[in-house]
């Protein structure tokens, strides 16, 4: 069964991510962390550096660019 997708707007970017992940956003550092609902495993860190997105994924994370400012995040687990 596919997860429902949630949406996070980060400046000019839209990040779609599965309902199975939790998301914590630190606005002052312009950094987002995606982790399991239990908060025990980090799957992805996304940060804004010099007006660009920097992705730091785990091995099982797939990031697909859907549009210039829209990305879909999925896990293979």
Over residues 29-69, the pLDDT tens digits come to: 889 999 999 999 999 999 999 999 999 999 999 999 999 99
Residues in Cβ contact with 26 at an 8 Å cutoff, skipping those fewer than 6 apart: 32, 33
DSSP state of 37: T
Print the domain residue range for 41: 5-75
Number of domains comprising the chain? 1
pLDDT band at 77, cuts 50/70/90? low
SS3 content of the chain, % helix, strand, coil (to 5): 0, 65, 35
């Amino acid at each position: 069964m596919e997860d429902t997708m949630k949406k996070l707007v980060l400046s000019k970017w839209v990040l779609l991510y599965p309902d199975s992940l939790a998301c914590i956003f630190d606005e002052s550092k312009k950094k987002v962390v995606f982790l399991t609902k239990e908060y025990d495993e980090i799957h992805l860190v996304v940060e804004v550096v010099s007006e660009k997105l920097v992705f730091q994924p785990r091995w099982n994370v797939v990031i697909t660019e859907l549009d210039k400012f829209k990305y879909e995040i999925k896990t293979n687990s």
